[in-house]
Amino acid sequence: MEGFLATPVGQLALTVAQAMALLVPLLIGVAYLTWAERKVLAAMQMRKGPNVVGPFGLLQPFADALKMLMKETIIPAGASRVLFILAPMITFMLAMLAWAVIPVNDGWAIADINVGILYLFAISSLGVYGIIIAGWASNSKYAFLGALRSAAQMVSYEVSMGFVIVTVLMCVGSLNLSEIVRAQENLWFIVPLFPMFVIMFISALAETNRAPFDLPEGESELVAGFFVEYSSMSFALFFLGEYANMILMSALITILFLGGWYGPFGLFPALGPLWFAFKICLCLFVFIWVRATFPRYRYDQLMRLGWKVFLPFSLVWLVITAAALKLFGWLPA
Amino acid sequence: MIAAAAFYLFAAVLIASAVMVVTSRNPVHSVLFLILGFFNAAALFLIAGAEFLAMILVIVYVGAVAVLFLFVVMMLDVDFAQLREGFQRYAPVGGVIGAILLLELVLIFGTWQFAADAEGLRLAPMPEGVENTRALARVLYTDHVWLFQIAGLILLVAMIGAIVLTLRGKTTTKRQDIGRQIARSGSVQLRQVPLGAGLGQIGIERPPVEPPAGEKPKQVEHHGHGGHH
């Protein structure tokens, strides 16, 4: 067995097995995130939510998936065919691709690369292509407007997100995601860097086009935004990609601020992956909670928040953090 | 062997997509091929062991610059027929410029000499045990810190210049004063109202809107749009 794993074929098989072990729970998680969102929203609005298919409506996501598969794929007459089909695939693939570097437990990343955080940032900044290509290829005004909005929004909020990440990196002294988590063994970064955590969370909402920043798909003005023309499986891919991105952003927040696989106060260190999953669920709950609570932003308010509030604030906080690290000699070796 | 095969694969796709950027009929497709080219260049960086540069290439060029390209190209109303009209007239000029550039490249690379220890440095570009990112940062922030900072300042000046050019001399632009907007008292009110009562009945009036200083609101004359006919 050891000998087989050392060969290139063995390595390939091992990587595929690892990817499966990560992606299958992830996709099931995505399916149940849609269910959880409907249940939580329903509870907050004093309704019952899905409760017919299976006990507590637990089979609802599978019924929905089946429904999506049975529907007809429609490609608009004026659409750019190749790009139209490619766009949802890009969105979905990028959402899956990023998970290659996420450390679920100490040493449990498929690829524990040196520049893990940069890889994540690169992949998340590519997410805009799926949307912008979808908007353009649909050859529809609503879709195009949605795509333009989304592109501007994602590019804007990436800037402050970059500064947040740089602040955390200064405290760690490494770009490796596992190192970032290990640096939080005694003190999670949410405590000293709480304002950055807030900025990161709100930027994550904007990056994933979630309420209250869901202008790209603002149904009251744009019907459904960039995916108006999509149906059936191509729509389902967008949907899955969006929810997988939510989970990814929650994982990123967990790694950067919530101590990854560590339990609070060093509790139950053996339960690393469970702690990690629990923290992701907590973040996701807040994502849904925000959606149930806040009305949608106006577009100028969104841009103002990104450029005139978050950007200067995170810049100043970055300088303050750097000064404090230097002054007290806390800089990592 | 695998590394060499990967290199030739990425290099071939890179060149092919570069050709497609130039020859593609649709400018949006050109930009998308450009992005594919960036990706392959990043992959080449990865093969060369420069993982930091690879990631930065993807983040900066693909994640930001190309998005803006795509933005602009999608909004442009390009007339392809007009674009191709002058092709034969301008082809000689373009050819001459291309030839001059080629000549210059040949002159430069013809006299290019490799340092004696270049081969060894290329195989191990970094000291043992130092990450790529760290090695790059050491060079940038110790040996070349002034050049690095000046480069940053030049970019800043360019950015400010672009903003100034955009905002120059437009006195008629309508501008939003967020401070005034928020400070306007009485624009948001929360009141307990009895069910079924209208605004007028319970004495709620709309806040007075003061006209902007110096101009009077124009009276709009109504010409029977949606009126009785």
Output the DSSP codes for A21-60.
HHHHHHHHHHHHHHHHHHHHHHHHTT---S-SSSGGGTTH
The three-state secondary structure class of A192 is coil
Q: Judge: A129–B35 Cβ closer than 8 Å, yes or no.
A: yes
pLDDT digits (tens, 9 = 90+) for A18-72: 888 888 988 888 988 989 999 999 988 888 888 888 888 888 888 888 888 888 8
Q: Tell me how far apart the alpha carbons of residues B74 and A137 are, in angstroms, rounded to a whole number.
A: 10
pLDDT bracket for residue A312 (50, 70, 90)? very high
- Look at residue A137 in the predicted model and tell me its pLDDT: 85
Q: What residue type is assigned to position A106 of the chain?
A: D
Cα of B59 to nearest chain A Cα, Å:
5
Share of chain B above pLDDT 70, in %: 71
Q: Judge: B71–A151 Cβ closer than 8 Å, yes or no.
A: yes
pLDDT at A267 over 60: yes
Instruction: Taking residues B139-153, report their average pLDDT.
Output: 90
Q: Tell me how far apart the alpha carbons of residues A23 and A102 are, in angstroms, rounded to a whole number.
A: 12
- Look at residue B203 in the predicted model and tell me its pLDDT: 66
The three-state secondary structure class of A114 is coil
- Look at residue A73 in the predicted model and tell me its pLDDT: 81
Mean pLDDT of chain A: 85
Q: What residue type is assigned to position A40 of the chain?
A: V
- Look at residue B228 in the predicted model and tell me its pLDDT: 46
Residue B132 CB-half CA count within 13 A: 19
pLDDT at B161 over 90: yes
| Residue in B29, B74, B177 to test binding to A, most A beta-carbons within 10 Å | B74
Picking from A124, A143, A96, A153, the residue whose alpha carbon sits closest to that of residue A300 is A153
Q: Tell me how far apart the alpha carbons of residues B63 and B60 are, in angstroms, rounded to a whole number.
A: 6
Decide: B19 and A81 in contact? Cβ < 8 Å: no
Q: What are phi and psi of B5, to 5 degrees?
A: -60, -45
Instruction: Taking residues B199-224, report their average pLDDT.
Output: 59
Q: What are phi and psi of B178, to 5 degrees?
A: -60, -40
Tell me the domain boundaries of chain B.
1-85
Burial profile A43-77: b = 16 or more Cβ within 10 angstroms, e = fewer:
eeeeeebbeeeeeebeebbeebbeebeeeeeebbe
Q: Before A212, cis peptide (omega within 30)?
A: yes
pLDDT bracket for residue B214 (50, 70, 90)? low
Picking from A174, A113, A176, A179, the residue whose alpha carbon sits closest to that of residue B46 is A113
Decide: B119 and B112 in contact? Cβ < 8 Å: no
Q: Tell me how far apart the alpha carbons of residues A167 and A14 are, in angstroms, rounded to a whole number.
A: 35
Burial profile B79-97: b = 16 or more Cβ within 10 angstroms, e = fewer:
eeeeeeeeeeeeeeeeeee
CA A52 to chain centre: 30
Q: Residues of B with CB below 8 A from A122's CB? A: 55, 58-59, 62-63
Worst-scoring range by mean pLDDT, A119-133, A306-320, B172-186?
B172-186
Helical ranges in B86-196 per DSSP H: 87-110, 118-123, 132-138, 145-167, 178-183
Rounded to the nearest 5 degrees, what angle is found at the Cα of A250, between the Cα atoms of A204 and B134? 80
DSSP letter assigned to residue A307: I
pLDDT bracket for residue B99 (50, 70, 90)? very high
Instruction: Taking residues A123-148, report their average pLDDT.
Output: 84
DSSP letter assigned to residue A7: S
Decide: A193 and A167 in contact? Cβ < 8 Å: yes
Instruction: Taking residues B79-107, report their average pLDDT.
Output: 82
CATH of domain B1-85: 1.20.120.1200
- Look at residue B9 in the predicted model and tell me its pLDDT: 92
pLDDT digits (tens, 9 = 90+) for B31-82: 889 999 998 999 888 888 788 888 888 888 888 888 888 888 887 766 666 6
pLDDT at A162 over 70: yes
Q: What residue type is assigned to position B132 of the chain?
A: N
Q: Using the structure block, give the residue that is written with the tokens 């740089």.
A: A166
- Look at residue B170 in the predicted model and tell me its pLDDT: 64
User: Residues of B numbered 16-45 whose beta carbons fall under 8 angstroms of chain A's beta carbons: which are they?
Assistant: 28, 32, 35
Instruction: Taking residues B154-174, report their average pLDDT.
Output: 83
Q: Residues of B with CB below 8 A from A136's CB? A: 28, 74
**Chain B CA closest to residue A135:** B74
pLDDT at A254 over 60: yes
Radius of gyration of chain A (CA): 21
